[in-house]
Amino acid sequence: MASRQAPTAALLRKVGVSDPAQAIEALTAVEGICGTTVVEVPESLAGVADPDLAIGQLLRLAESARDQGLLDSLSALAGAEARLAALLGGSSALGDFLVLHPEVLSVLVDGGIDDIAAGARAGLLQAVGADPEAACPVASLTGTEGIDALRVEYRRRIVRIAAEDLAAANPLQVFPRVSEALADLAQAALEAGLALARADEPRHVETRLAIIAMGKCGARELNYVSDVDVVYVAEPAEGVEDAQSIAIATRLVHATVRACDRASAEPALWVVDANLRPEGKDGALVRNVESHRAYYERWAHTWEFQALLKARPVAGDIEVGRAYMDAVSPMVWTASQREGFIEEAQAMRRRVEENVPTAEAEWQIKLGPGGLRDVEFTIQLLQLVHGRTDESLRVAPTLQALGVLRDKGYVGRPQASRMDEAYRQLRVWEHRVQLDRMRRTHLVPNTEEGLRRLARASGFPEVEGFLEAWHEIRRDVRAMHLEMFYRPLLPVLARLSAGEVALDPEAARERLASIGYLDPDAAQRHIAALTEGVSRRALIQRQLLPAMIGWFANGAEPDTGLLAFRTLSEHLGDVSWYLKLLRDSAVAAERLARLLSTSPYVTQSLLASAEDVTWLDSDEDLAPRALDRLTEEADAILSRADAPDQAIASLRGLRRRELARTAAADVLTRLDTVEAACTVTHVADVVIEGALRVAMAEQARAGGSERLPFRLAVVALGRYGGMEMSYPSDADVMFVYEADDEADRVEADRQAQQVAAEVRRLLQAAGQHPPLETDADLRPEGKNGPLARSLASCAEYYGKWSEPWEAQALLRARPVAGDPGLCERFVELIDPVRYPEALTEAALKQMRTLKARMESERLPRGIDPKRHVKLGPGGLSDVEWTVQLLQMRHAKDVKGLRTTLTLEALNAAVRAKVLDRKDATVLEEAWRLATRVRGAMALRGYPKDKTNILPHDARELRALTAILGEDWSASELDDRYSRAARRARSVMERVFYGWENKEAG
Amino acid sequence: MDKQQEFVLRSVEERDIRFIRLWFTDVLGVLKSVAIAPAELENAFEEGIGFDGSAIEGLTRVYEADMIAQPDPTTFQILPWQGDVRGAARMFCDIQTPEGEPSMADPRQVLKRALDKASALGFTFYTHPEIEFYLFEPLVPGKPPKPVDSAGYFDNVPRGAAHNFRRAAITTLESMGISVEFSHHEAGPGQNEIDLRYADALATADNIMTFKMAIKEVAIEQGVFASFMPKPLPDAPGSGMHTHMSLFEGDRNAFFEAGAPFQLSKVAKSFIAGLLKHAPEITAVTNQYVNSYKRLWGGAEAPSFVCWGSNNRSALVRVPIYKPGKGQSSRIEYRALDSAANPYLALAVILAAGLKGITEEYPLPEHAEDDVWELSPAERRALGYEPLPWSLADAINVMEKSELVAETLGEQVFQFLLRNKRSEWEGYRYQVTPYEIQRFLPVL
């Protein structure tokens, strides 16, 4: 013994045994029992999943055979050692079965998988004592005896299938045969179960029951252990009432199912699932043919027709089964003409492309990203899209469908071949994890030992190799989906390699329309233009476009997005950074697709300055620039510019750039609308400050003096003062100056007017970059007053002449540029005006009357006021006037109310208990929603005067919700806005107008 | 083309139907009908029939006038009153926007949404309305309406016209699948009451629409005129639509609890409490016309005050006396509704009010034993019996503040009703009535 022990231990360790000492002990015991030497063992163990397990099980098997006097059948396995070892090491459950039933060992020797499958029906029927030749086989065994006999015979055959599968040199190649054999075996089990059921049901002849397999069993691609999906159909025997027939058939069905899945001495086989039947769980278990047909004609959903695609009669009455197929199969493909087809195809596409990983998904062979479900969906989606017109695609098994898709040129050969391999490999892994304990599972074991066993069971000596292969498959499956669905949309000339296909125009049209392109012909032209030719650009776009076609389809307007991309591309030509960015960035192309298909505002801005596209690669570049950074940049521009025109052009360029950045981030929902408004406002501040400096310097130079005899400040008012500017907003401003003490007042005034006018000219004169329109009408005396007013004159005006509404306008006054001291003095001057000691009755009345008049006069004619988000009831202006009233009443006591920002004031009002918290919430919600909707309308590129009116067009409303980043339908947005506005109006009427009970009329 | 649609096409051919009426209901509850020829039917099933929604009260906002009526083949029904030879048939329609979304302004949708909410709580809503109406002699412009029996109509030909009307009405309704119980109302001359059988609320509302149409048609055939106006005659009782209702959980009546006071379960009590609390705000829907308030405040048995009682005929909510062994028929009766309400909207707001009571667990106030009309105003106030709105204007003002009604109807229908009802009130107030002329012109 000692002479053999050392080398064997080393040898055993080499083939993967982790405890050689125990293994040798077990082998010695086996030798003792069998009386032979087991020299061949190490070779047989080489590819076994768990060699330790195999040896342990072998010992138990030998003991059991000895105890039952069946040692001969063990020794008769000569030549099948490898199969036995593979089985014992690959499935503890089937090993246990053999230990219990050593009498079935001979199955490992004779025949092969195909014989096992072909003889399954006869074998299982005989096992329960039924005549396989009979038209209607009835078991002679009954009760648990019959059930156990059925299960032993079923498992005997499974043992053989599993052994050959596990021992196969190339399991991927055997997989289809294994999968078919498993389906045939399940079919035989149902037939034998039915024979058992008949034995207990004397009136079984009164009904003609057929069992139809659906799903994987129907398609003959079954797993070792998964639910077997079925539906039942029964016709009455001659002279029998239908109700009677259905009642008997229902009893037969229950007994058949019990034979398969009820607990007994022999473990259950699998769950029989009849939930795919008409009406699902709530529907009758058994129906006649006509009732099935009626259901599918009237009620069925599209997915139910897809399920029918895999239906196949498997047991019971053959004629009834055939009648069922004849009745329902013609309807399968009319389903694709039904309403909602595009929506379902879209939804299916999204399911594939947006597969969101969950906690468990990491270990999921089936449901995780790049899992089996993804492969199946990809293939089914293509079948669904093209099977409408091409009947050859209407086949059930996954691999066969893939083959047809390839042969008919719907998908490329390399992709099809990779997908085929991935599918087989995933299924083999799934089979391996199920085989271990014969459990229905799709999870890769999360333990080192489990992983090692799975890796070895599927031909990977090391766990690392297995994980690597799995990872690669997941990634490839996702990529293949893109390649298979979108790549063939590219024209023939754009093929990257010879194996690729290009769809004919009709098929391409089908595919584009199925994902939401409204004008597939134009889309095909754009795709062709983008990809044809030999330029580097065309080359890179061929790589990119398949994925981008899908991303455009996720946006509001796929067609527009594609066209814009073409325009941008032609614009940029072969600029290398652009192509590099699109090719190398993980996110840029997808972001670009969303922007172009969703926001005409951003599209326009990108077309004007294509280099902005570079930001899309970086989250940091998309983040709003801080105010001090902008100020710094403006300072640099001003100090290096030689000519005023040049300086101002650079500043306006800066503003255009920052607006584009903010808008892009906004559409990509990387910042909320209030933040966006704040950024847009900051940018205006910086540009106006710059323009003021340019104008002052110019004025000084023209006068030939070092400095001017006055100081000047720009004060922001209105939405600009409140830091709530939208992309196309004008800036409300006023100019204040203060002459030097010794200066000539008249001369200072003249020059101040010139500077103010020049600031406006610089900002809004036509030029390369978009202008910043300024509106100075809120200044004292409005259009009739001087453009710039001296501080002293302001003091006089506000002290004596001004109207209460002007005090209200000053609530939003915020000095933004010019001499800091002057800014401070201006604020000191206006504070007592805007935060008065007391709001007089007359002032209050005037404020309310003015608001009421605005409501009837300022709204454009011919629109529904309720859709005006600024001036309509419950719109922005209602909320703001309410807040401003509270400010004028309480700001003298409550410091927090002294702000130009609406939301800040609203919060301060709640803290100071001058506004109910609930009311504040209502106002804030309405204000935010109106602000967001307004922002979204600007991003949709509405002209300035239209960004206040909520559109009616459902498609447009949906586009807005997409920009808002909400998953609302058109009516939902409509309803939400109306509701928020109605509530806000009701609060406003109480708080602002002081109406407790409104009169009718 | 599904089977039901084929059945409709076949029936149209076999029965020699010459035109098909597509029915739907506007926001005020008026039945609208678009007639199409059989040749257009197939197309109607496939694409629906476009129509100008702006012509229909409340259905659309003016600028999106195009709407689609999508006929529901399961509601196909031959119209019995058009004669057997050259027939007509009807189908109810769902109203959709051109984009295929269900219209927010379709009253049927409003009720469906409310029923969905009940369903989410596990309830099915069953209702049983008692519809009152008057039969008049054919109207003569400028003359006051004459009820058929006060005019001696019945006297001249004993049991003639009235008898014929009832028989024809019952035959017609039953041939349309609506089984009814018919009783002559003694209280008003020419007044009738017909009870529809217990059904889920959506079927009830559909049946009420069909019923009103059928009654009007039969009346015309019989040479009389039927009206569902809430209060057509100042000195006779108005036409109400007392509605019995209950919630079921599966096949169990959720209103029943053996041994509890009045056999009312907690669910029933909260439901009643919800109905009482919100009764004033839903009144503009359940009693939607200027004329409705003349019935509601017309004395006699009109339920003008918010209270409940067992078998108290002056209470707003009445709990019929429980018959032993009839647990499944436990129910409550809401007595404010009148026959001119839009049944879809009315049932929706009633249900929403009751459900609110259940979800918020409102406590049920004491029941009223007295005849509330006999009490003095001070007594009523002391007992906490609030009045219902006493005019349409009053009701609108209460409804306008109601979050419950707004949410149940949806913003679009809610706003439309407010606008429409305000303008109705304006139009009414503008009148100088014969009463004023008679009473004041001579003396002022």
Question: Is the per-residue pLDDT at A697 higher than 60?
Answer: yes
Token pair for A432: 């391996």
Q: Which residues does residue A286 pair with via DSSP β-bridges, in sequence order?
A: A232
Top residue of A297, A344, A968 to mutate, by most chain B CBs within 10 Å, is: A297
Which of A167-176, B62-71, B263-272, B390-399 has the least mean pLDDT? B62-71
The CA–CA distances, whole Å, from A148 to A92, A145, A438 equal 20, 5, 17
State percent of chain A over pLDDT 90.
50
CA distance A516 to A431: 38
Q: pLDDT at position B59, please? A: 64
Domain boundaries, chain A: 339-485, 513-616, 623-834, 835-1001
For range A807-814, the mean pLDDT: 93
pLDDT tens profile A590-602: 899 999 999 999 9
Question: Cβ of B422 and A1001 within 8 Å?
Answer: yes
Token pair for A320: 């009834």
The CA–CA distances, whole Å, from A291 to A229, A235, A242, A294 equal 19, 11, 11, 5
Nearest Cα of chain A lies from the Cα of B65 at a distance, in angstroms, of 11
In this structure, what is the dihedral angle of CA atoms A723, A727, A733, A739, given to the nearest 10 degrees?
Answer: 90
Instruction: State whether residue B411 sits within 8 Å of chain A by CB.
Output: yes
What single DSSP character describes residue B157?
S
Q: pLDDT at position B62, please? A: 44
Which of A955, A971, A1000 lies nearest to residue B396, judging by beta carbons? A1000
What single DSSP character describes residue A868?
B
Contacts of B401 in chain A (CB under 8 A): 986
Minimum Cα–Cα distance from B74: chain A residue: A298
CA distance A774 to A309: 66
3-state SS class at A185: helix
Token pair for A584: 């190398």
A733: closest CA among A801, A669, A787? A787
The CA–CA distances, whole Å, from B81 to B35, B85, B203 equal 16, 11, 22
pLDDT band at B404 (very low <50, low <70, confident <90, very high): very high
Do A632 and A581 form a contact (C-beta atoms < 8 A)? no
CA distance A509 to A736: 64
CA distance A808 to A888: 7
Tell me, what's the ipTM?
Answer: 0.71
Q: pLDDT at position B236, please? A: 87
Full DSSP string of B36-100:
E-GGGHHHHHHH-EEEEGGGSTTTS-GGG-EEEEEE-GGG-EEEGGG-SSSEEEEEEEEEE-TTS
Full DSSP string of A507-533:
HHHHHHHHTT-S-HHHHHHHHHHHH-S
Specify the higher pLDDT residue, B382 or A433.
A433
Tell me whether the CATH fold assigned to A339-485 matches the one assigned to A835-1001: yes
Token pair for A268: 């259950």
pLDDT tens profile A9-60: 888 888 888 888 888 888 888 888 887 766 667 777 878 999 999 999 999 9
Contacts of A234 (CB under 8 A, 6+ apart): A207, A208, A209, A210, A245, A246, A249, A286, A287, A288, A320
Full DSSP string of B223-251:
T-EEE--S--STTS---BEEEEEEEEETT
CA distance A445 to A877: 61
Phi, psi torsion values for A92, nearest 5 degrees: -65, -35
Question: Is the per-residue pLDDT at A787 higher than 60?
Answer: yes
B168: closest CA among B225, B228, B87, B222? B222
Phi, psi torsion values for B299, nearest 5 degrees: 70, -150
Choose the CATH number for A835-1001 among 1.20.120.330, 1.10.10.10, 3.30.450.40, 1.10.8.100: 1.20.120.330
Do A57 and A86 form a contact (C-beta atoms < 8 A)? no
Contacts of B394 in chain A (CB under 8 A): 1000
Question: Is the per-residue pLDDT at A356 higher than 70?
Answer: no
Specify the higher pLDDT residue, B160 or B406.
B406
| Other CB atoms within 10 Å distance of the CB of residue B62 | 9
Question: Is the per-residue pLDDT at A783 higher than 60?
Answer: yes
Is residue A78 packed enough to be buried (19+ CB in 10 Å), middle (13-18) or exposed (0-12)? exposed
Choose the CATH number for A623-834 among 3.40.1710.10, 3.30.460.10, 3.40.50.300, 3.30.565.10: 3.30.460.10
Contacts of A298 in chain B (CB under 8 A): 2-4
Instruction: State whether residue B412 sits within 8 Å of chain A by CB.
Output: yes
State percent of chain A over pLDDT 70.
94
> Alpha helices of B222-342 — where are they, by DSSP H?
266-286, 292-296
Nearest Cα of chain B lies from the Cα of A954 at a distance, in angstroms, of 7
Question: Cβ of B101 and A978 within 8 Å?
Answer: no
Question: Is the per-residue pLDDT at B64 higher than 90?
Answer: no
Tell me whether the CATH fold assigned to B18-99 matches the one assigned to B112-437: no
Which of B101, B396, B411 lies nearest to residue A970, judging by beta carbons? B101
Q: pLDDT at position A257, please? A: 92
Question: Is the per-residue pLDDT at B158 higher than 70?
Answer: no
Q: pLDDT at position A792, please? A: 92
3-state SS class at B293: helix
Q: pLDDT at position A494, please? A: 62
CA distance A251 to A285: 10
Top residue of A334, A982, A986 to mutate, by most chain B CBs within 10 Å, is: A982
Q: Residue B116: CA atoms inside 13 Å, Cβ hemisphere, count?
A: 7
Nearest Cα of chain B lies from the Cα of A983 at a distance, in angstroms, of 9
CA distance A80 to A551: 55
Nearest Cα of chain B lies from the Cα of A1001 at a distance, in angstroms, of 6
CA distance A639 to A204: 100
Nearest Cα of chain B lies from the Cα of A957 at a distance, in angstroms, of 12
Question: Is the per-residue pLDDT at A336 higher than 70?
Answer: no
Q: Among all chains, which residue has been given the structure tokens 């095909």?
A: A524
Q: Residue B237: CA atoms inside 13 Å, Cβ hemisphere, count?
A: 20
State percent of chain B over pLDDT 70.
91
Token pair for A480: 């293949």
Token pair for B306: 């918010």
Question: Cβ of B99 and A954 within 8 Å?
Answer: yes
Q: pLDDT at position A583, please? A: 81
Question: Cβ of B3 and A971 within 8 Å?
Answer: no
Domain boundaries, chain B: 18-99, 112-437
Token pair for B370: 């007295």
pLDDT tens profile A358-374: 556 678 888 777 888 88
Top residue of B113, B411, B417, B428 to mutate, by most chain A CBs within 10 Å, is: B411
Do B52 and B63 form a contact (C-beta atoms < 8 A)? no
What is the residue-averaged pLDDT of chain A?
88
Question: Is the per-residue pLDDT at B413 higher than 50?
Answer: yes
Q: What share of chain B is helix, strand, coil (3-state, %, to 5)?
A: 45, 20, 35
Specify the higher pLDDT residue, A556 or A915.
A915
What CATH superfamily classification does A339-485 receive? Nucleotidyltransferases  domain 2 (1.20.120.330)
Do B255 and B373 form a contact (C-beta atoms < 8 A)? no
Contacts of A56 (CB under 8 A, 6+ apart): A26
Instruction: State whether residue B104 sits within 8 Å of chain A by CB.
Output: yes
CA distance A313 to B32: 50
A15: closest CA among A42, A49, A52, A54? A42
Q: pLDDT at position B63, please? A: 45
For range A477-487, the mean pLDDT: 82
CA distance A215 to A276: 9
Q: pLDDT at position A754, please? A: 94
Token pair for B305: 């005050």
- Assigned architecture for domain B18-99: Roll (3.10)
> Alpha helices of A20-142 — where are they, by DSSP H?
20-34, 41-45, 51-67, 71-75, 81-90, 92-100, 113-118, 120-127
What is the residue-averaged pLDDT of chain B?
86
Phi, psi torsion values for A712, nearest 5 degrees: -140, 145
Instruction: State whether residue B66 sits within 8 Å of chain A by CB.
Output: no
Question: Is the per-residue pLDDT at B321 higher than 90?
Answer: no
Which of A294, A975, A982 lies nearest to residue B104, judging by beta carbons? A975
A558: closest CA among A493, A511, A607? A511
Top CATH class of B112-437 equals alpha beta
Minimum Cα–Cα distance from B426: chain A residue: A1001
* CA dihedral (A118, A124, A129, A130) positive or negative: negative
For range A373-394, the mean pLDDT: 84
CA A700 to chain centre: 60
For range A902-925, the mean pLDDT: 96
What number of H helices and E strands is found in chain B?
14, 18
Contacts of A982 in chain B (CB under 8 A): 406, 411, 414-415
Supply the pTM of this predicted model: 0.70
For range B205-227, the mean pLDDT: 90
Nearest Cα of chain A lies from the Cα of B122 at a distance, in angstroms, of 17
Instruction: State whether residue B124 sits within 8 Å of chain A by CB.
Output: no
Beta carbon pairs, A and B, within 8 Å:
56
Instruction: State whether residue B54 sits within 8 Å of chain A by CB.
Output: no
Q: pLDDT at position B190, please? A: 82
Contacts of B63 in chain A (CB under 8 A): 864, 952
Q: pLDDT at position A354, please? A: 65
3-state SS class at B107: helix
Ranked by mean pLDDT, which of B31-35, B135-139, B438-442 comes out on top? B438-442
Which of A515-524, A713-722, A857-866, B289-298 has the least mean pLDDT? A857-866
Specify the higher pLDDT residue, A341 or A729.
A729
Contacts of B396 in chain A (CB under 8 A): 1000
pLDDT band at A335 (very low <50, low <70, confident <90, very high): low
Question: Cβ of B422 and A998 within 8 Å?
Answer: no
Question: Is the per-residue pLDDT at A435 higher than 60?
Answer: yes
Question: Is the per-residue pLDDT at A349 higher than 80?
Answer: no
Question: Is the per-residue pLDDT at A260 higher than 60?
Answer: yes
Nearest Cα of chain A lies from the Cα of B64 at a distance, in angstroms, of 7
Contacts of A793 (CB under 8 A, 6+ apart): A780
Q: pLDDT at position B160, please? A: 54
Nearest Cα of chain B lies from the Cα of A995 at a distance, in angstroms, of 13
Q: pLDDT at position A769, please? A: 87
